[in-house]
Amino acid sequence: MIYLDWAASSVPDLYLLKKSVDIYSSYYANPSALHREGQNAQDFLNKCRKEIAEIIGCRDNEIIFTSGGTESNNIVINSVITKAGKKHKPHVIISGLEHDSVYNPAKALSELGIEVSIVNPEKSGLISAESIKNHIKENTVLVSLITVSNETGAIQPVKDISDTVMEYSKNKDRKILFHTDAVQAFGKVKFNPEELNIDAASISAHKIGGSRGIGILYIKSGCGLKPLYRGGNQEMGIRPGTENLHGIYNLSLVCRKNLSKLDNNFKKAEKLMDTIIKELSQINGTVFLPQSRLNEPEKFSPYILKVSFPPVPGEVLVRVLQDREICISTGSACSSRKKSRQRILISMGIPEKTAYSSVRISTGYETTEKDIDNFIKTLKEELPILQKASG
Amino acid sequence: MIYLDWAASSVPDLYLLKKSVDIYSSYYANPSALHREGQNAQDFLNKCRKEIAEIIGCRDNEIIFTSGGTESNNIVINSVITKAGKKHKPHVIISGLEHDSVYNPAKALSELGIEVSIVNPEKSGLISAESIKNHIKENTVLVSLITVSNETGAIQPVKDISDTVMEYSKNKDRKILFHTDAVQAFGKVKFNPEELNIDAASISAHKIGGSRGIGILYIKSGCGLKPLYRGGNQEMGIRPGTENLHGIYNLSLVCRKNLSKLDNNFKKAEKLMDTIIKELSQINGTVFLPQSRLNEPEKFSPYILKVSFPPVPGEVLVRVLQDREICISTGSACSSRKKSRQRILISMGIPEKTAYSSVRISTGYETTEKDIDNFIKTLKEELPILQKASG
């Protein structure tokens, strides 16, 4: 089986998963317990946090463990609610590229009467600093922009935009919080919160070979957030609940593994993506989404490609390739069953028909040249038949 | 090391943890993905849900997987917010016995202007149906009552109270939702949602030998709840985020294990608790919390005992026993570092001094008679010294 849906969920590193479960036999006590076993668990938790902070390049107290990307995104977006007073009407900016776990909570904010601006990308799939700047207002409190689009792989100019946002709020009473959903970036492309000049970032373990149910909210010191929900005082009060210690340990292990191999993996992914793009370019009627990717490959993650073969419906192609033991997707798994699943492509100005025919191909560190060769070969066999049948 | 803090977190079943991690190599695809690997993962998820529903005695679609007890409780309590309109001011009833993950979100509701009544228990540590009934009003939308107190082990008369609540709302337009935090009940004492006549229940895996970071919100069909946060359509839209499949599988395994051995484990725990109570009764100055436990042992979980040895501070006893390789606790780990940690005992009318001297002893299915004998022996050696030193 050839798995080319790493952006939905990665092939787990089973060795690291087992290793992390093993330590749970030594650290099963509740880290909040006052006895020694509890203290040992707390010490181990602190060690994992320190390890991850070092890898990310931030302070220990800037790492909040959550259940994953969706929860991390929601903590940030929902924190705006507590900023809403009777006098003060906050304003939020998100991009049209955001994942459902940013887009839907932002929609929920607007139902509560909070003003939300959705800034659409250029045709290139990139958000411009200019367009964000044009939407900033006196009452803007939050800007949220995905680092790497989970649909197209476009690497957003996060630093340009965060600089613009920071510059705007420099001399104001109220700071604008800049958040990025880094789920498709962290562990795959270069990502340093300080260099990117961001306040908050969401990270998920299962996108980089780690456990399900564990993620990080990076939040810069001094940018205090309110919790999404309440309970004990865990995670500095931002995220209550008994800590998922084996998940957290697993996250520290996969962080270490991915970050140490980041450059090598990236180069390998680039090479594979070059092959894919070169081969697909030769197929009649292939539309790259966006088409500009061909001229500016450096602006895209080499792990994700969105491409359309009109008039073949994306879903049909996914199912036909599945019968040939190849897994690709139509796009975000989280919205795979939604009617609105082409929302992001449409925000880029892509015609509905082209979007309808699109598929996402996403690789990972285990993907081989042979996988890609077989995928291309199979696609070339199936596409003419499907194109004929569809159109 | 003798571990008597099972109520904070249980000793994990490492065999089942490893077994659940193993299946992740077969079902790593995103269950929302449309390709076959995704479908296989979805099928496996459905199978686990069905298995757990069978064990609990409910329908598949009544099981929502969450990150644990804290999140399950918060989903229920926060759902009241969406019921608040300009005309309609909802009213919520919780007991004074609730864990911080019910108590604190309820406090947050009251900060939002939602009316919250906190009903205190009798001196027996039990909430009476009468006292709940006296607090029900026209605008009551939710009653939340813990099944087994995590502080005293008192098994609340959940059925009496839910019957009272259901009776009240029978002929009304608006149904009152009855929720119970069953984290210390499920897998340990008899617990059947239908028999108990409840609408919603919170369950946690790590309290019964399972993985951290996974739990259940049982929600009866037709009692539709709003999600606490937004994203994809997972878990019937109530709890978004890529499903923690190995955690869910682990939950199904520990459910099966605990429920099949429930009666045997219960009898064993009863026997151990009888020994503990008998032995502690012979120590001068022992105060059982509540004292009525001696006359009505059947109203308490045999897994949890709260006891006080004034004037020895609970924290001192915990630390002294830790140096003798015995883990007990002062009470809920989640509130171990809070000043308010005696809130629950004080709600029972227990003097602050007695509460200050209290400790919690909680056993699990691995606790042996020898553990208890050693604990008693050590306690009898240390207590006189501490009592003398304390005053």
For residues A42-63, give the mean pLDDT. 97
Matching residue, tokens 């019964």: B208
3-class secondary structure, A224: coil
For the record, the structure tokens of B258 come out as: 């605990």
**pLDDT at residue A338, rounded to an integer:** 60
For B39, the token pair is: 């479908």
List chain A residues with CB under 8 Å of B365.
none
Closest to B70 measured CA to CA, from A224, A199, A118, A240:
A240
Low-confidence ranges of chain B (pLDDT < 70): 84-86, 333-341
Residue A170, pLDDT score: 84
Residue that has been written with the tokens 């260099």 in this structure = A195
Q: Which of A17, A69, A336 sits opposite B24 (nearest CB)?
A: A17
Check pLDDT > 80 for residue A265. yes
8 A C-beta contact, residue B251 and residue B48: yes
Q: Which residues of B touch A14 (CB under 8 A)?
A: 21-22, 24-25
State pLDDT tens for residues A113-131. Answer: 899 999 999 999 999 999 9
Tokens of B139: 């605008």
Structure tokens of B122?
Answer: 């009798």
In the block, residue with structure tokens 């005696």? B342
Rounded to whole angstroms, the Cα distance separating B359 from B316 reads 10
Chain B residues close to A108, C-beta within 8 Å: 230
Q: Which residue of B has its CA nearest to A5?
A: B29
Q: Residue A1: its chain B contacts at CB < 8 A?
A: 37
Give the DSSP letter of residue A95.
E
Contact status, residue B210 vs residue B251, Cβ threshold 8 Å: yes
The C-alpha angle B39, B41, B43, rounded to 5 degrees, equals: 70
Task: Please tell me the distance from the alpha carbon of residue B373 to that of residue A280, in angstroms, as a whole number.
Answer: 73
Which whole number is the average pLDDT over A230-252? 96
| Residue of B203, B5, B391 lying closest to A36 (CA atoms) | B5
User: Which of B36, B71, B110, B242 should we substitute to test contact with A (largest number of A Cβ atoms within 10 Å)?
Assistant: B242
Q: Output the CA torsion sign for B236, B237, B239, B240.
A: positive
Give the distance from residue B141's alpha carbon to the nearest chain A alpha carbon, in angstroms: 20
CB atoms inside a 10 Å sphere around CB B172: 10
For A207, phi then psi, to 5°, come to -85, -10
Instruction: List Cα–Cα distances, B305 to A302, B153, B364, in angstroms.
Output: 58, 6, 12
The whole-angstrom separation of Cα A118 and Cα A346 is: 13
pLDDT given at position B73: 98
* Whether complex ipTM tops 0.90: yes
Closest partner residue to B241 (CB to CB) among A32, A68, A246 is A68
A15 touches chain B (CB under 8 A): no
Strands B358-362 and A287-288 come out as: unpaired
Q: Which amino acid is at A108?
A: A
Query: Both tokens of residue B119?
Result: 């009903």
Q: Cβ separation of B33 and A333 shorter than 8 Å?
A: yes
pLDDT at A186: 98
Taking the C-alpha atoms of residue B331 and residue B347, their distance in angstroms, rounded to an integer, is 15
Whether the Cβ atoms of residue A31 and residue A45 lie closer than 8 Å to each other: yes
A335 pLDDT more than 70? no
- Give yes or no for residue A38 having a pLDDT over 90: yes
- Confidence tier at A88 by pLDDT (50, 70, 90): confident
Looking at residue B346, its pLDDT comes to: 92
Which of A2-6, A83-87, A346-350 is least confident? A83-87
Q: Dihedral sign, CA of A38, A41, A43, A45?
A: negative
Write down the pTM of the prediction.
0.96
Q: Tell whether A28 lies on the interface with B, counting CB pairs under 8 A.
A: yes
For residue A360, pLDDT over 80 is answered with yes
Dist. CA B154–CA B163, nearest whole Å: 19
